[in-house]
Chain A
Amino acid sequence: DAKTTQPPSMDCAEGRAANLPCNHSTISGNEYVYWYRQIHSQGPQYIIHGLKNNETNEMASLIITEDRKSSTLILPHATLRDTAVYYCIVSPDQTGANNLFFGTGTRLTVIP
């Protein structure tokens, strides 16, 4: 399974867009990119996922590069409640190994 690398921390001003990068240079063709976030010590919460095309939902947008080796999660108008640790993971779509690697994520701090 592909592993991911993310910056350990980022700051973002309230109301501005937060752009969180993720590198997954060893991703294979059948692996999806998933994003989760964890507020304080609560259970992580699913945000969005994608395979090749850019995706958008009510929470965020996901931009995946054409070579699929990196992606960016965009929170269009960050609020204080978006302060959290954000995890980018890759997951196979078929019966591959299911050892899902979360790593340490990016700690996003939204500043008033």
Chain B
Amino acid sequence: EAQVTQNPRYLITVTGKKLTVTCSQNMNHEYMSWYRQDPGLGLRQIYYSMNVEVTDKGDVPEGYKVSRKEKRNFPLILESPSPNQTSLYFCASRLTRAYGELFFGEGSRLTVL
């Protein structure tokens, strides 16, 4: 089944404890992206990647890192999480760099205490 898989789905952590949210797609998609969703603010893009080893900042990249060493994986890294990073996170992928529908993962709800 074609899908985008995120892990963990739910996480409660404490300020400063490094964490990684993994994202994997099995559709050989070139483009991958991370979004965060907060009440009243909609979906905001954090980082995106148009291919292996190519990443770019979105609207809200501060406090996040990403890497794209393999085509299927696009992990989101929070080196030193803070409470303002408490949010619902979505990973998405698309077949080509600039065209086509986005496929979203089920979301990862992160709480930073």
Contact = CB atoms under 8 A, between A and B. Distances in A.
Chain B interface size, as a band, is 20 to 34
A29 interface: no
Interface in B44-92: 44-45, 48, 50, 56, 58-59, 88, 90, 92
Main secondary structure of the interface of A (DSSP, over half): loop
Given A91-B98, A103-B42, A104-B41, A98 B106 contact: no
A42 B106 contact: yes
Interface string A86-112: 010001111111111111110000000
Main secondary structure of the interface of B (DSSP, over half): strand
A49 B94 CA distance: 14
Nearest to A96: B98
A-B interface, 3 closest residue pairs, ranked by CB to CB distance from nearest: A43-B104, A104-B42, A102-B43
B99 A32 contact: yes
